[in-house]
Structure 1
């Protein structure tokens, strides 16, 4: 719950900042900012090479190694190599990004790697609640600095400065809670990190491929203004997926600990079933709601953004598929089978890249969105196939069906309200709130499992939620 609420705060602050940036910078300059962030995301993969995932896994195990100091040394070495390569390639990078920003890119890379490293350590030490708080701290700090600087006339430079400041604040806070083992790092520690990272690095590429391969390819075929609209639609779609991401981040160290202690596969399978039952809790109604009022919601970003309506629907469906896929891959990784996720990720990356190039070339941004969705669907099928080989997978079809039914009830109310009351932005905002309430009330009535989950996780007893 702490992880989810942290992501909500992070999303809200990012939502507000995005509105300020799009309205102040305009579509073209905001699109340039998005392209720089996409390049950063890709070079960060080279700066990590699966190291954060390996650190999170090894730290979470019942082991005597010192993976904190070992990880610091490895991370610094990787950053140094990538930074030198970026500086050498700066003429080509600046031309691609359409801005002289390589030195800024290197600075942003350093803080991005730093915050990722700290989060990995905290997750591995079962401090997911602390790690989770770093996200809203980072995004809120970033958003405040960005809005202040951009509105003060610093333009896109203010957006970059906010990114750096937000990460530094989060790193300082997170580092305070990191527990550093007193044991000396050994060659064995390096070996165990490498043994996991040699497979997990492709997971980073898979995640980044899903998040921004389409943006990179779009930068070749369309203008930055269209990329800005596409990115806004993607951010909205991602907003609905935060609860599923919270489940993944929270359950991974728990599953990993159970696996390293030799616990039965039944316990891990039970956690996987729970994750599948609630992965779509928010994104299923989010997809339905986007179909009904998404065109109006997009206008909050400014004139012209409503053209991303169909892109929003396609990308939200892609996030739904990817969310379920992620639950399977998290389970496989947690039981120390990164070789299996390596196979899935390899197929995902190749399919995503090929489809993005071909479909974007032929159909523009609709092709990019379709490529992202298709690769997520293939990844989901492969994730289920391989997960079923290592644990007894039970898909809670009944619970997912009840979420869909509750979302259908919500859809009827919101559609009727828009048709009768009106479709101005203030009215739609109210309808969104009403629809969310209808969805959860309907689901509470339909699902006994949901009622039990809510009751067991309430901080204090409430008569309405008490069992009969």
Structure 2
């Protein structure tokens, strides 16, 4: 795996992010309580949707155009377009503040506008760095943002600032990451021409639906839940979603790492063959962590949820459904990312159109009928639709070799891990310290077994370690 080290840097960065977010979430849920934390989650969901509207596919277009060529100033042209779109939306949000405040359950529109500004700015910086093949630097911004955010949130909330402290931490963390990332961006020393704006538009006009798809997958259920259930249940749902997302971060790291590389080689004669190989690699490792994560959630998820406070264990089945949805969606994103890298955004537009329609309709119907379980199922079904659609269109432009053997070995290793964890829980009980220990033991068992049964995995680990280890030798 040629890009394993970059993927691992990205992954470790996300692990640091997740750990800091995990600690901060525990403090927020236990200090603010389920209801006020649920309000915070609703504000973040509104923020996510407004950020999507402010960006409208521009970050993806910037990353694509910068990665495929050294001609043109897509940095300044992208910045100009993005600033203009944010300014228009900020005015619209301020005019709609009575309705927004009522929906969010808090007078926080001006806070929302500030959070939107830093969110759009950070996404822009990351997109430029990714396009300039600096994924390892872009990845570092994630833990920087989350660490600063988490520390400030914990300090402010514990000092009595309440939910305002949570908002302040969000803005401060993003500002620090923006300043740090901007330092490494290379800006061409000439003004952009009309051509750059046209090429951004030609890609963004199709890629914008991809950003909606990603946003619907991550927060449409939360928005719909805000209509039908209490904020306290939304808090539990969000915690379950965050845990499910924790398992999926490696698949996201692979996709983020390989996209600019696929984009760069897409113009060469042998591009399809090489991209086909990279797609197989991405599929082989997309489930590396989330497959055992799903098994682990089934075995000890009920205990892990109690860490967040009393009442959170009610989200156990939600956690299982959402983790499975994350697994399916992770594979679908590998197909769609490959299609985008080959400059075929119109095909992903078709898939995303079906996903959006399915997700929206099912979320409304199933949430109204079955509550939060219906929302989780809606996310899973729409993810499956995206998976089949992505496979169908990707198969039209590249030869797909599904790594069935490698995925099967990951499932086998996860099964053996399950035996050790379940046995440990039966013998030693299910207190939180015991479960934390069992999680560590289970992870060790999983990777040891996988190293033993998968020659490809051993080779990948050996190729990406800074030193050679005789025990991993495949010769």
Scaled to the shorter chain, the TM-score interval is over 0.9
1:104 to 93, 104, 111: 111
Asked whether the 8 Å contact 1:348–1:375 carries over to 2, the reply is: yes
Structure 2 partner of 1:130: 137
Q: Measure how far apart 1:19 and its partner are.
A: 0.3
Paired with 1:231 and 1:450, the residues of 2 have a C-alpha distance of 33
1:226 lines up with 2:214 in the alignment? no
1:388 to 391, 395, 419: 395
1:293 to 300, 312, 321: 300
Structure 2 partner of 1:437: 444
1:363 lines up with 2:370 in the alignment? yes
Structure 2 partner of 1:217: 224
1:377 to 378, 384, 389: 384
Compute the RMSD of aligned alpha carbons: 0.7
Structure 2 partner of 1:272: 279
Identify which range, 147-156 or 55-64, moves more after superposition: 55-64
Cα deviation digits, residues 144-175 of structure 1 (max 9, x gap) = 00000000000000000000000000000000
1:85 lines up with 2:96 in the alignment? no
1:319 lines up with 2:326 in the alignment? yes
Structure 2 partner of 1:170: 177
Q: Measure how far apart 1:467 and its partner are.
A: 3.2
Structure 2 partner of 1:456: 463
Asked whether the 8 Å contact 2:10–2:253 carries over to 1, the reply is: yes
1:308 lines up with 2:315 in the alignment? yes
1:350 to 344, 357, 368: 357
Q: How does 1:17-32 map to 2 (within 5 A)?
A: 17-32=24-39
Q: Measure how far apart 1:304 and its partner are.
A: 0.4
1:427 lines up with 2:420 in the alignment? no
1:192 lines up with 2:199 in the alignment? yes
TM-score w.r.t. structure 1 length? 0.99
Question: How many residues end up aligned between the 2 structures?
Answer: 468
1:332 to 317, 339, 349: 339
Asked whether the 8 Å contact 2:458–2:473 carries over to 1, the reply is: no
Paired with 1:197 and 1:467, the residues of 2 have a C-alpha distance of 45
Paired with 1:440 and 1:19, the residues of 2 have a C-alpha distance of 28
Q: Measure how far apart 1:461 and its partner are.
A: 1.2
1:139 lines up with 2:151 in the alignment? no
Structure 2 partner of 1:72: 79
Paired with 1:11 and 1:25, the residues of 2 have a C-alpha distance of 20
Asked whether the 8 Å contact 1:62–1:261 carries over to 2, the reply is: no
Q: Measure how far apart 1:3 and its partner are.
A: 0.5
Paired with 1:262 and 1:88, the residues of 2 have a C-alpha distance of 52
Q: Measure how far apart 1:420 and its partner are.
A: 1.1
Paired with 1:271 and 1:128, the residues of 2 have a C-alpha distance of 17
1:156 to 163, 170, 178: 163
Paired with 1:289 and 1:95, the residues of 2 have a C-alpha distance of 39
Paired with 2:97 and 2:329, the residues of 1 have a C-alpha distance of 34
Unaligned runs of 5+ in 2: 1-7
Cα deviation digits, residues 350-374 of structure 1 (max 9, x gap) = 1000000000000000000000000
Unaligned runs of 5+ in 1: none
1:95 lines up with 2:102 in the alignment? yes
Cα deviation digits, residues 327-351 of structure 1 (max 9, x gap) = 0000000000000000001100110
Q: Measure how far apart 1:264 and its partner are.
A: 2.8
Structure 1 partner of 2:53: 46
1:242 lines up with 2:218 in the alignment? no
Paired with 2:161 and 2:150, the residues of 1 have a C-alpha distance of 14
TM-score w.r.t. structure 2 length? 0.98
Asked whether the 8 Å contact 2:332–2:390 carries over to 1, the reply is: yes
Q: Measure how far apart 1:262 and its partner are.
A: 4.2
Structure 1 partner of 2:3: none
Q: Measure how far apart 1:182 and its partner are.
A: 1.3
